[in-house]
Amino acid sequence: MAVRASSKSNLRQTAFTRFTLIVAILVLWMGGITVRLVHLQVNQHEWLKERAIGQRQDIKRSKMPRGTIYDRDERALAMSVTVQTLYADATRIDDVKSAAKIIAKVLDSKEAAIEAQLADAKAVEKRFLPLAKGLDDETVQKINKALEDPSIRKADLPKFEGLHWREDQKRSYPYQKLAAHIIGFSNAEGIGQAGIEQSQNEILFGAIIKKLQERDRLGRVYDETVSEKEIPKDIVLTISTSMQYHAEQALERAVKVSSAKSGIAVVIDHKNGEILALANYPSFDPNKLNGITPQNLTNRAIQSVYSPGSAFKLVTYGSALERKLITPDGEIDSGNGTIEIAKHKFTDSHAIGRVSYAKAMAHSSNVCAIKTSIRVGKESFYETVKKLGFGRPTGIELPAETGGIVRSPGTWNGDSLASMSIGYEIGVSALQMASAFATIANNGVRIQPHIIKQIRQSDEQVVPLAQPENTQVVSAETARDLRMMLKQVVIAGTGKRAQLNGYSSAGKTGTAWKFDEKLKRVNSAKYVSSFIGFAPAEDPAVTIAIVIDEPKVGGRDGGQVAAPVFREIAEQILPALNVKPEWSIEQEEAIEDIPEAAGIGNASNIDNNNVNAQAKPENSKVASARPETSIESKPESSDKKPEKPKMAPKEDKAKTESSEKGFGEAKSKGQVKNKSSPEIKKDKT
């Protein structure tokens, strides 16, 4: 019994010893692991973490495509496309020489230069060395194929150690020069530098997005986190590509034919204030900015001011009509075609005697306009000028718009009112003039001109825009009278060349001497010729302003240089706007049979036409349906001198210099006295 008990006790002892040994080994093993883990997780924590993230995560920065600019017909005017940049991570290239040899061969560039670049980058541990930029997909594929190294295990292309692709954006302007001043351009960083690109940069800007990619051991991306950024919006403009093209072509031809310095054309849909075309010449191609001069870049339609000349008589007669001081049929005596205001003599190109206000405007009489402005008075005239939007920017969504130059009555000289009534001593932009005429065309309601029709998000949702300002500037009656007077300008006045085929038109010519910086006075050899009008005359659909700067060859006044451009643009644009012709060609031919006795050019006939125009609109169509007859019957009108305020020869040079200063030029105090001539007083009474 005792032996059995003893053997049992030994067995237990052995088992216990073995158990203890195993436990001890396990404890040691686990202890070792614990120590190692503590070492790794405490001492080498940062290094290991970085290494793990580096192996697993990849941060890629790319740029969202900049927003697209469309025209009103959804034609893309400016668009960004993705291009690739091949860059080298120099720290990953071991053999610089052999790498440079292969890269140079693929990129067709100099091996030595690439080798030097790589060596320099490697020395400073540069991880981004661009080797080729702006490559399209086709080129990228060719390069990938050429650089493929089967021994390289890499998930991304190119399969070449140390070389990578980076996505970039390239801005393209498919219509090249078309509407270049409106669209503008952006720089290499995707920041707008001119035009809509600049003014709407925040909306169009393609932000840099950060993509956090999780990769497996083979480098394949299995998870991606994109940092949230607002997606750029697209902008739809009010301009029409086809209308813009017509306007630009017509303007370019006119500038070239007249050897002018530059030209401007503005086309406005006055019913809603939308700009249908805004052309400048000379222009530029936003795709090729090398060698561009500031002259080419200037958007003269909104950034330059000029003296409007006789086109500003619209404001003069408008303010008088609004205050019921005159009627279109009322008569005014222009006397001998000369008037003296504050020792400054203003003359007409030809004396027209006692005529109706409509004829006075048609013939662009300076004397009549000055007399009318004196009846209106300084304050009232200034009020109308301001109401029509002069002296402040129109608010169009384009950068660097000028407000023009309009001095307050307190700073005016004795002859300032007279000068301003005929479009001197005032600086306006072409857009302001177009807007003023558009107001008259729109029954006296001024709608703020604008060029952005829509702003769209990426999901096609439209961002609500503020409604353009809508102001009744003059009464509908005044606007109608003015339209009728402007129609006479085209039928029987200085704007005959603006007569359209199939449509009636109305407008006003303007020719102004330019201020010469060198001479410090206006230069009678330099003109700004303009024609601003609308069509059809009765129910206008479109307002067009044409300004030609310094025409040198041929006729120089607005009726000769600018009116044909108006006609060309209007004749092409009106059918595009679905405006039905007011009369057919057959009717036109039938009218030709009417004897010349009822023609245009005779003073008494003009007034008859004027009356007829009011009483029977169809008769006015008859009258305006004879452009060719009127032009040919009085060809000498082409050689007519510009309708300018002329200094009498007896005026001394000093007076000439001081009184013929351009706008914004303060005159000497000695000449500020406002001495109305007896003739004016007579007229006023």
570 Cβ neighbours under 8 A, 6+ residues apart: 498, 500, 503, 505, 535, 542, 544
Q: Pattern 516-535, binding to other proteins, x per CB under 8 A?
A: --------------------
Which residues, numbered 494-513, are part of the site for other proteins (CB under 8 A)? Answer: 497, 501
Contact 350, 377 (CB under 8 A): no
Residue pair 106/54 in contact (Cβ under 8 Å)? The answer is: no
Question: Strands, DSSP E only, in 536-583?
Answer: 542-549
For every residue of 284-314, DSSP letters joined together read --TT--TT--HHHH--HHHH--B--GGGGHH
Q: Any contact of residue 216 with other proteins (CB under 8 A)?
A: yes
From residue 627 to residue 646, the character string flagging contacts with other proteins as x (rule: CB under 8 A) and all else as - is xxx-xx--xx-xx-------
One-letter amino acid at 238 equals: T
286 lies in the site for other proteins, by CB under 8 A: no
Shortest distance, CB of residue 68 to other proteins, whole angstroms? 8
Q: What is the DSSP string of 239-275?
A: --HHHHHHHHHHHHHHHHHTT-SEEEEEEEETTTTEE
Rank residues 221 and 325 by Cβ distance to other proteins and give the closer one.
221
Element (H, E) at 362: helix 357-362
User: Which residue(s) pair with 275 in the sheet?
Assistant: 268
Does 546 contact other proteins by CB under 8 A?
no
679 lines the binding site for other proteins (CB under 8 A)? no
* Region from 98-106, 168-176, 472-480, 658-666 binding other proteins, contact rule CB under 8 A: 168-176
Q: Which of 586, 597, 649, 685 binds other proteins (CB under 8 A)?
A: 586
Candidates 87, 160, 175, 381; binder of other proteins (CB under 8 A) is 175
User: Which of 184, 273, 564, 662 lies at the binding interface for other proteins (CB under 8 A)?
Assistant: 564
**Residue 457 binding other proteins, by CB under 8 A:** no
Verify binding: residue 671, other proteins, rule CB under 8 A: no
> Considering the rule CB under 8 A, would residue 353 count as an interface residue with other proteins?
no
CA distance 444 to 446: 6
Given 43, 82, 336, 467, the residue binding other proteins (CB under 8 A) = 82
User: Minimum distance between the CB of residue 75 and other proteins, rounded to whole angstroms?
Assistant: 6
| Residue 12 lies near other proteins (rule: CB under 8 A) | yes
Shortest spacing between CB 553 and other proteins, in angstroms: 4
Binding of residue 554 to other proteins (CB under 8 A): yes
Choose between 24 and 81: whose C-beta lies nearer to other proteins.
81
Binding segment for other proteins among 77-85, 346-354, 448-456, 661-669 (CB under 8 A)?
77-85
Q: Should residue 76 be labelled a site residue for other proteins when binding is judged by CB under 8 A? A: yes
Residue whose pair of structure tokens reads 């998000």 in the numeric block: 457
Structure-block tokens of residue 45: 């924590």
172 touches other proteins (CB under 8 A): yes
Total residues at the site for other proteins (CB under 8 A)?
A: 56
626 near other proteins, rule: CB under 8 A? yes
Which residues is 279 bridged to in the sheet?
265
Distance of CA 408 to the CA centre of its chain: 29
221-226 and 208-215 strand pairing: antiparallel
Please identify which residue in 115, 234, 588, 660 interacts with other proteins, judged by CB under 8 A. 588
559 binds other proteins (CB under 8 A): no
**DSSP letters along 636-683, please?**
GGGGPPP------TTS-HHHHHHHT--TT-PPPGGG----B-HHHHHH
Task: Pick the binder of other proteins from 63, 177, 313, 344 (CB under 8 A).
Answer: 177
Neighbours of 249 (CB within 10 A): 17
Report if residue 73 touches other proteins, rule: CB under 8 A.
Answer: no
Question: What are the DSSP calls for 592-629, one per residue?
Answer: TTS-GGG-SS-HHHHHHHHHHHHH-HHHHHHHHT-HHH
Task: Between 552 and 673, name the residue whose CB sits nearer to other proteins.
Answer: 552
Contact between 595 and other proteins by CB under 8 A: the answer reads no
Q: How many CA atoms lie within 13 A of 391 on its CB side?
A: 15
Angle, helices 476-492/313-322, rounded to nearest 10 degrees: 140
The rounded distance, in Å, linking the Cα atoms of 627 and 592 is 10
Q: Which residues bind other proteins (CB under 8 A)?
A: 8, 12, 65, 75-76, 79-82, 136-137, 172, 174-178, 213-214, 216, 220-224, 245, 250, 253-254, 257-258, 497, 501, 553-555, 560, 564-565, 567-568, 585-586, 588-589, 592, 626-629, 631-632, 635-636, 638-639
